[in-house]
Amino acid sequence: MKVWFLGTGAGRPNKQRNVTSMALQLPDSESGWWLFDCGEATQHQLMHVPLKLSKLERVFVTHMHGDHVYGLPGLLSSRSFAGGITPVTLYGPAGIKSYVETVFALTGTMLDYDLTFHELEEEELSTVYDGGRFSVSAGPLVHRVPCFGYRIAERSTPGPLLADKAKSLGVKAGPLFGKLKSGETVTLEDGTVIRPEDVTDGVIRGRVVTLLGDTSPCDMSLTLAKEADLLVHEATFAAGLEEKAHEFGHSTTVEAARTALAAGAKGLAMTHFSGRYSNEELAKLAAEAAAVFPNVIAATDFSSVEISRPLPDREGSGL
């Protein structure tokens, strides 16, 4: 599983970085990917990474500011030209449906696939998608307009199947092996119940990725980022500019690091940098955060972060 940074700038593009967009590339066994925010020219940025527009499955918008949505109608339109025919679901704040449909109506845009909208309500925390292997929760952040952060959680699965042990308990190789590997409990012909934890080597913990929209420090950021393998947090301004950051609903580098530390996150990727900072200055911004939370990077356009599946936890109490 990998996060691609398609745009890492705030407000407007410059020669070194485009406006905000990120992509979550699903595990190798999955064929698709998800998009988070879609600033202007995101479809151009996609040409520089190994993601096919036709394989896009879901779009999650954090808020309706232009640097996060101006690229959306064009990208959705181009997906048809790229051979995309499978459905796409779009999640975002109230108004996202009207925005996209109005642009399509005025431009005569027709899609070759079904586009479904899921507008979010400003609740404390809610599950907006549950697809079996992954679930996505959304929660409201602190910004100048309604804005959300997203927590993508992968379900834990049994570790490697201990085939010899399963056979010794009467499980025949075949479909029952497959069910146990996928975490299902099976019942043998004689009524014996075999649980996955009885015949597997520990538990493989599911990964968690938290992608926040624009925000000042808040409790919801901590909730969404709790023990995340990767937290993606905006860092619009350098340390010392907290007052200016909060005036516009943003955070500084040190505040992003404090959130990662308080949430118990394992890694932090900072993005959404003000145009006042050149890419050469990003090392300084990363160093500010690293003084609080060492495992941090300052993301650049087209960079990526791999989130590896952990080894089985042999002391886990179950799925």
10-residue mean pLDDT profile of the chain (319 residues): values are 97 96 86 94 97 97 98 98 97 98 98 98 91 94 98 90 88 88 86 88 92 98 98 98 98 98 98 97 98 98 95 58
* Structure tokens given for 168: 């010794």
**C-alpha distances in angstroms, 71 versus 8, 37, 93, 148, 169?**
14, 9, 16, 19, 57
Predicted local confidence at residue 86, as pLDDT: 97
pTM of the model: 0.90
Closest CA to 224 of 156, 148, 295: 148
- At residue 29, the pLDDT reads 57
What pLDDT sits at residue 316?
47
Q: Which residues contact 280 (CB under 8 A, 6 or more apart)?
A: none
- Residues tagged in the binding site annotation for Zn(2+): 63, 65, 67-68, 143, 214, 272
pLDDT of residue 318: 39
**What are the structural domain ranges in the chain?**
2-156+205-306, 158-198
67, with CB counted inside 10 A (0-12, 13-18, 19+), is buried
Catalytic residue among 28, 37, 67, 130: 67
Q: Which tokens hold the place of 226?
A: 């709790």
Cβ(215)–Cβ(249) below 8 Å: yes
With CA atoms as reference, report the closest residue to 62 among 17, 96, 102, 25: 96
How many of the other CB atoms lie within 10 Å of CB of 170?
A: 12
Give me the helices (H) in the chain, please. 42-46, 66-69, 72-81, 96-107, 163-168, 175-181, 219-225, 242-247, 253-263, 282-290
Which CATH architecture best describes the domain 2-156+205-306? 4-Layer Sandwich (3.60)
* 15 CB burial (10 A radius; 0-12, 13-18, 19+): exposed
**Are residues 1 and 209 in contact, defined by beta-carbon separation less than 8 angstroms?**
yes
CB distance 100 to 119 below 8 Å: no
d(CA 59, CA 168): 47
Q: Which are the contacts of 46, defined by CB distance < 8 A and separation ≥ 6? A: 6, 23, 53, 75
Q: How many residues does the chain have?
A: 319
Q: Which pLDDT score, from 0 to 100, does residue 315 have?
A: 59
Active site residue 67: yes
One-letter amino acid of 117: F
DSSP 46: H
Residue 183 backbone dihedrals phi, psi, to 5 degrees: 100, 10
pLDDT reported for residue 314: 63
